[in-house]
C-alpha cells in the first residue's frame, strides 16, 4: 500500500470533478441535444461517486480478503519476503520512466545505438548486474534491436553519432 | 470448400509459417520468465505485426499468446511463481506436485490439457461465431452499448481487488479514451493545447506502458526470484492418456467453462482458471486432496484457461469487444490490417476467418512438441538473471512504441503509462480495467451518443428492446454481485470479530 484510500479516493473524485467541469463546457453540435460533452461529463460524475466511496472505505473488505489470502500462502510456503520499501528505495522505481524520457530527449542527437547503450547499462546496474554483463548486453542489445527494427521492419531509427553499417 | 482451400493456401505461405514458428518460440520463452506476462509478450509484439501481412500478423498474436499462457505454468510448477496471471489459480497445486518429486507429471498435465483445451476452444469458435454473427446482424447501437458496458463490468468482477476501485480504474480508462478529436462533435477534448494529443492516446503505447514498463518498475523493488536447480526431467507425456481417461469429465467441464467465460466480453483466461479450479474442488470426490499435488484441479483449470483463449476471440471478431487484455491487443491489430471486427467479417472475409481457425489448430498442435522442448530447456532460460532481461524489455518498449507511428511522443506515453500503471497497481486499482476502458472507450461512447440521438435523448430504448433488456439485466447483475457478496459475508465477519 503506497497511499491511503482517503488520498487516492480524493484524487479520483477531484479528477472526476475536473473532467465533468471541463467536459460540460465543450461546445455542442448545433441542432443536437447530445454532443461531445455528454460522455466525459457522465464519466466525470461517476468518478466523483467512486472516489467518494473509496475515500469512505467502501469495498475495502474485498482487498483485505485478497491480501490475507496472499499473505497466508506466502507464510505457508516460506516465500522470500521483500524488504519494506523505504522512500529512497522506492525512488528506484522511477528509473525506467526517467530513462524513457532520456531516450526521447537524446535519441535524435546521440543516435539510437549510443542512447540505448546508456539505457541498458543504467538498467543492468539498477538490477545489481556486473560491469561485464552491462558492457556485453549494452553492446549486443542495441545493435541487434537496430538490425531487426531498422533493417527488417524499416523503422527510421536515428543514426546520430554512431551509424550502423546497414543504415 | 473453395474458401477452406483458399484459407489453407494463405496459412501455408512461407511468411505465415515462419511467423507461427518464431512467435511460438518467443511466446514460450517470454511466458516462462517470471514477471513477464502473456499480455506483455503480446503487447511487445504488436509493433512487429505492423510490418507483416494480415494473416501473418494474426498468426503471430495467436501463437505467441497461446504459447505464453501454457508456458506461464512452467515457473509456477517449478518455482511457485506463476509466469502469467492465468496460471496463478493452480500454482500451489502444481508446485506441491513438484515437491512430491513429480514435476514432469505436473508439467505434462499443463501441456497436454492446455493443448486439448485450446483445440476445444477453437472448435467452439468455429461453431459459434457464424451462428452468433447471424444474430449480431440484428444488433443496433443499443445492444452494442450494453455489450461494451457488460464487457467492462465483467472485467471489474475478475479483478481480485475492491470492486469500487476496479470500476474507478475502468472509468479512468474511459476518460483517457475521450482525449483527442475522435468524438461525436469532432472537437478537441482534454488535449491541453498539445497537438500530439489531438489524435488521442494510442492504445498500443498505453498498453506497453501499463503492462511492460510498470512491470519493470515493480521488479526493481522486488528481490530476485530464487534460482532453479538444474534437473533432468523424465518423460513429460507419460501417463497423460490414462489421466485423460480417468478425468475426462473434469476435462470436459473445464473446456466448457473456459469456452463460456471466454465468450463473455471482458472475462478471459485468468477468470476461467480460477472458476474451474474452484469448480473442480467443489465437485471432487476427494476435495481434501486439493493443494497437496492432486491432478484433478490441474486438469480442469489447465483445460479451461486455454479454451477461453480461443473462445475469447468470439466477441472480439463479432463485436470488436475484447474478451480479455490479449484480445484487446488483437483487435487493434485486426483494425490495422483492414480486418475490421463485425459480423460481416464472416461473410465477406470468410477465407481469412478459416485461416484464423487453422492457425489456432496449428498453434495448439505444435504446442506439444515445442512445449516439451521448452520444458527440457527451461532451466537454461530461467537461469538468465533479471539484470539481463529487464533492460532489453525497456529498450524494446521504447523502440516498439516509437515504431507504431514513428513518433517520439509515443515513447512519452509509454513512460507516462508506466508510472500510471505502477501507481494504480500499488494502490489496489487493477490496471486491466483501465486498459479495457481505453480500448473500448470510443466504441462505448459512439454507441451511447448515437443511441441517444436516435431516441431523442430518451433512455427507454436502452431497456425495451428484448436483447437490450437481457444485456442490461446482466450488466446490473455484474454491478450488484459484489454488493450481494458483501451483504452475505457481513454477518459472518461480525461473528468472527466477536470473541467466542
**Does A98 share its domain with A53?**
no
**Does A66 share its domain with A99?**
no
Residues 6+ apart with CB under 8 A from A122: A95, A99
A38–B452 CB contact, under 8 Å = yes
**Domain count for chain B:** 1
**Does A62 share its domain with A120?**
no
CA-closest candidate to residue B244, choices B411, B108, B402, B70: B108
Range of the domain at B103: 2-226+237-483
pLDDT of residue B160: 66
Kindly list the residues from chain B whose CB atom is less than 8 angstroms away from the CB atom of residue A34. Answer: 184, 449, 452-453, 457
Among A46, A77, A108, the domain boundary falls at A77
The answer to whether residue A158 is domain-embedded is no
The answer to whether residue A157 is domain-embedded is no
Is residue A81 pLDDT above 60, yes or no? no
Range of the domain at A99: 89-152
| Residue in chain A nearest B188 by alpha carbon | A26
**Domain count for chain A:** 2
Burial class (CB in 10 A: 0-12, 13-18, 19+), A33: exposed
Chain A with chain B: Cβ pairs closer than 8 A: 229
B187–A36 CB contact, under 8 Å = yes
Strands (E), B6-88: none
CA atoms within 13 A on the CB side of B172: 28
**Does A71 share its domain with A115?**
no
Q: Are A107 and A161 in contact (CB under 8 A)?
A: no
The answer to whether residue B102 is domain-embedded is yes
Is residue A112 pLDDT above 60, yes or no? yes
- ipTM exceeding 0.90? no
The answer to whether residue A46 is domain-embedded is yes
**How do residues A139-156 score in pLDDT, each as one tens digit?**
999 999 898 888 877 788
The answer to whether residue B389 is domain-embedded is yes
Per-residue pLDDT of chain B (500 residues; tens, 9 = 90+): 788 888 899 889 999 999 999 999 999 988 887 767 778 888 888 888 888 888 999 999 999 988 888 888 888 888 777 767 777 778 888 888 888 888 888 888 889 998 999 999 999 988 888 888 888 888 888 988 888 888 888 777 766 678 889 899 999 999 999 998 877 777 888 888 888 888 888 888 888 888 889 888 988 888 877 766 667 777 878 788 888 888 888 889 999 988 988 888 777 777 788 888 888 888 888 888 887 888 888 888 888 888 888 888 888 888 888 877 788 888 888 888 888 888 888 878 888 888 999 999 999 999 999 999 888 888 777 777 888 888 988 998 898 888 877 889 999 999 999 999 999 988 888 888 888 888 888 888 888 988 988 888 888 888 888 888 988 898 888 788 878 877 777 666 566 555 44
B390–A123 CB contact, under 8 Å = yes
**Does A59 share its domain with A103?**
no
Q: What is the mean pLDDT of residues A39-59?
A: 90
Q: What per-residue string of b and e applies to B375-406 under the rule 16 or more CB within 10 Å gives b?
A: beebbebbeebbbbbbbbbbbbbbbbbbbbee
The answer to whether residue B488 is domain-embedded is no
Q: Which residues pair with B180 in a beta bridge?
A: B189
Cell numbers at residue B380, please?
A: 537454461
B168–A47 CB contact, under 8 Å = yes
Instruction: Determine the Cα angle at B52 with ends B321 and B397, to 5°.
Output: 70
Report d(CA B378, CA B104) in Å as an integer.
12
Q: Are B77 and B249 in contact (CB under 8 A)?
A: no
| Shortest alpha-carbon distance between residue A141 and chain B (Å) | 7
Amino acid at each position: 500500500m503506497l497511499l491511503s484510500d482517503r488520498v487516492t479516493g480524493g484524487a479520483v473524485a477531484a479528477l472526476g470533478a475536473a473532467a465533468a467541469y471541463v467536459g460540460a463546457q465543450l461546445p455542442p453540435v448545433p441542432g443536437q441535444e447530445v454532443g461531445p460533452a455528454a460522455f466525459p461529463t457522465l464519466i466525470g460524475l461517476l468518478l466523483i461517486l467512486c472516489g467518494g466511496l473509496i475515500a469512505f472505505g467502501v469495498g475495502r473488505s474485498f482487498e483485505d480478503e485478497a491480501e490475507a489470502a496472499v499473505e497466508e500462502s506466502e507464510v505457508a510456503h516460506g516465500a522470500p519476503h521483500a524488504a519494506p520499501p523505504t522512500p529512497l528505495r522506492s525512488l528506484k522505481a522511477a528509473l525506467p520512466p526517467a530513462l524513457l524520457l532520456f531516450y526521447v530527449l537524446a535519441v535524435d542527437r546521440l543516435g539510437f545505438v549510443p542512447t540505448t547503450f546508456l539505457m541498458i547499462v543504467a538498467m543492468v546496474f539498477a538490477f545489481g548486474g556486473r560491469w561485464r554483463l552491462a558492457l556485453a548486453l549494452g553492446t549486443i542489445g542495441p545493435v541487434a534491436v537496430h538490425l531487426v527494427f531498422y533493417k527488417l521492419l524499416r523503422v527510421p531509427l536515428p543514426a546520430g553519432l554512431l551509424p550502423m553499417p546497414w543504415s | 470448400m473453395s474458401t477452406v482451400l483458399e484459407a489453407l493456401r494463405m496459412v501455408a505461405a512461407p511468411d505465415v509459417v515462419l511467423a507461427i514458428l518464431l512467435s511460438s518460440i518467443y511466446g514460450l520463452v517470454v511466458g516462462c520468465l517470471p514477471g513477464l506476462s502473456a499480455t506483455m509478450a503480446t503487447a511487445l509484439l504488436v509493433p512487429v505485426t505492423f510490418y507483416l501481412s494480415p494473416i501473418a500478423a494474426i498468426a503471430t498474436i495467436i501463437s505467441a499468446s497461446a504459447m505464453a499462457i501454457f508456458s506461464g505454468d512452467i515457473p509456477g510448477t517449478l518455482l511457485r511463481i506463476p509466469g502469467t496471471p492465468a496460471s496463478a489459480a493452480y500454482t500451489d497445486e502444481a508446485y506441491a506436485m513438484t515437491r512430491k518429486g513429480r514435476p514432469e507429471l505436473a508439467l505434462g498435465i499443463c501441456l497436454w490439457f492446455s493443448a486439448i483445451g485450446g483445440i476445444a476452444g477453437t472448435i467452439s469458435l468455429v461453431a459459434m461465431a457464424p451462428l452468433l454473427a447471424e444474430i449480431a446482424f440484428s444488433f443496433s447501437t443499443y445492444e452494442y452499448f450494453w455489450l461494451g458496458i457488460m464487457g467492462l463490468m465483467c472485467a471489474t468482477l475478475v479483478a481480485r481487488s475492491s470492486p469500487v476501485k476496479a470500476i474507478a480504474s475502468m472509468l479512468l480508462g474511459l476518460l483517457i479514451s475521450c482525449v483527442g478529436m475522435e468524438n461525436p462533435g469532432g472537437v478537441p477534448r482534454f488535449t491541453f493545447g498539445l497537438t500530439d494529443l489531438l489524435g488521442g492516446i494510442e492504445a498500443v503505447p498505453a498498453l506497453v506502458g501499463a503492462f511492460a514498463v510498470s512491470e519493470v518498475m515493480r521488479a526493481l523493488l522486488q528481490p530476485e526470484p530464487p534460482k532453479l536447480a538444474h534437473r533432468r526431467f523424465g518423460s513429460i507425456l507419460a501417463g497423460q492418456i490414462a489421466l485423460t481417461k480417468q478425468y475426462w469429465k473434469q476435462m470436459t467441464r473445464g473446456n466448457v467453462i473456459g469456452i463460456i467465460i471466454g465468450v463473455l466480453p471482458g472475462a478471459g483466461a485468468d477468470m476461467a482458471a480460477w472458476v474451474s479450479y474452484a469448480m473442480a474442488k467443489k465437485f471432487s470426490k476427494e476435495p481434501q486432496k486439493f493443494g497437496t499435488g492432486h491432478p484433478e484441479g490441474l486438469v480442469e483449470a489447465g483445460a479451461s484457461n486455454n479454451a477461453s483463449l480461443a473462445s475469447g476471440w468470439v466477441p472480439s471478431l463479432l463485436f470488436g469487444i475484447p474478451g480479455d487484455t490479449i484480445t484487446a491487443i488483437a483487435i487493434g491489430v485486426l483494425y490495422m490490417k483492414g480486418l475490421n471486427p463485425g459480423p460481416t467479417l464472416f461473410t465477406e472475409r470468410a477465407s481469412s476467418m478459416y485461416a484464423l481457425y487453422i492457425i489456432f489448430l496449428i498453434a495448439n498442435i505444435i504446442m506439444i512438441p515445442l512445449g516439451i522442448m521448452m520444458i527440457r530447456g527451461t532451466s537454461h532460460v530461467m537461469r538468465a538473471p533479471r539484470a539481463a532481461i529487464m533492460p532489453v524489455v525497456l529498450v524494446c518498449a521504447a523502440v516498439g512504441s516509437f515504431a507504431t507511428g514513428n513518433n517520439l511522443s509515443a515513447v512519452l506515453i509509454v513512460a507516462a503509462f508506466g508510472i500510471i500503471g505502477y501507481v494504480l497497481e500499488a494502490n489496489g486499482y487493477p490496471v486491466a480495467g483501465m486498459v479495457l476502458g481505453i480500448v473500448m472507450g470510443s466504441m462505448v461512447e459512439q454507441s451511447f451518443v448515437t443511441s441517444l440521438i436516435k431516441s431523442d435523448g430518451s433512455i427507454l430504448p436502452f431497456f425495451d428492446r428484448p436483447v437490450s433488456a437481457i444485456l442490461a439485466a446482466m450488466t446490473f447483475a455484474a454491478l450488484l454481485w459484489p454488493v450481494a457478496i458483501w451483504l452475505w459475508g457481513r454477518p459472518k465477519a461480525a461473528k468472527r470479530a466477536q470473541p467466542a
